[in-house]
Amino acid sequence: MQPSYCLKENKPCVGWVQNYFSDCLCNINDEISFAFGFISLICWGVAEIPQIITNFRAKSSHGVSLVFLLTWVAGDIFNLVGCLLEPATLPTQYYTALLYTITTIVLVLQSFYYDYIYKWCKRRQKINPEEGAYGTFLAASINLPMQGNALKVGYMRLSGRKLLSQEHVTHSALGQWLGWLMAAIYTGGRIPQIWLNIKRGSVEGLNPFMFIFALIANSAYVGSILVRTTEWESIKANMPWLLDAIVCVALDLFIILQYINYRYHRKTSPSEYGNCEDYKEARKTIVS
């Protein structure tokens, strides 16, 4: 790759960042932005590993809503292609979307294996036709961004991407549309998991670290965008990704609070001990 040069700062871009991430860091804001983006990338890379391990140990994925995961896959695809098409998004946003797509697909395949194939081999159970229909709908919607030359054009834009402050960039209407669709899917996709927790009155089988890492990753994600530039043109172009991350932080925090409530608070609630006297005795036992 031909080395780029920061005209305003009169110095070359950071070499290894340009070579491996196709990004040009010219000043301290760029460097802090990249650091936030890299933290987000790492957190997304490990976010789903705790849940994958939990499913493997339990030989089940009953703690995670399948609709939640399937919705995430659709959102991942729209996120990935939207980042490719919209020049205003940062390279770390693209690599985060790519990594998260891979890990989510692994988690979905694991869920299908334990909840359907594994059970079918043991009990000869059939797949729920309603969930199969929902999966077909999501699979059809995922194919929408793949039509035409979207990926090819997006890759060309990624390889030749420059900051908005360096040159005028024409925004992608399709990239923006996919970004907003991604935001709607991601934010709405957490509702099935929240409802599943409420419906069961339990978080058994759910690993909270998946949502803790997601919360950290989304927070760093927002920082990477806002620190890089305060120009409204760039902020406006990144608005779908910004709003998605901010709302998801709130929803992930709510799921974490659900986990604390169901896992710890309700374990010591009076209703589980029949009356207040039994509850007091149980509390004394726990303290001692």
At 24-41, the pLDDT tens digits run 888 888 889 889 988 988
Q: What is the pTM of this model?
A: 0.64
Average pLDDT for the chain: 75
pLDDT of 281 strictly over 60: no
Residues 103 and 100: their CA atoms lie apart, in Å, by: 5
Rounded mean pLDDT, 85-110: 85
- Ordered alpha helix ranges (H), 143-262: 150-159, 173-200, 209-228, 232-237, 239-260
Residues 77 and 181: their CA atoms lie apart, in Å, by: 10
Rounded mean pLDDT, 111-130: 68
Query: What percent of the chain is modeled with pLDDT above 70?
Result: 74
Cβ of 218: how many Cβ atoms within 10 Å? Answer: 25
| Amino acid (one-letter) located at 285 | T
pLDDT of 280 strictly over 60: no
Residue 167 pLDDT level (bands cut at 50, 70, 90) = very low
Of 26-40, 145-159, 265-279, the one with minimum mean pLDDT is: 145-159
Q: Tell me, what's the pLDDT at 274?
A: 46
Residues 63 and 4: their CA atoms lie apart, in Å, by: 48
Helix (H) / strand (E) element for 6: namely: strand 5-6
At 222-248, the pLDDT tens digits run 988 888 877 888 888 888 888 988 999
User: Given the DSSP bridges, would you call strands 11-12 and 5-6 parallel, antiparallel or unpaired?
Assistant: antiparallel
Residue 219 or residue 286, greater confidence = 219
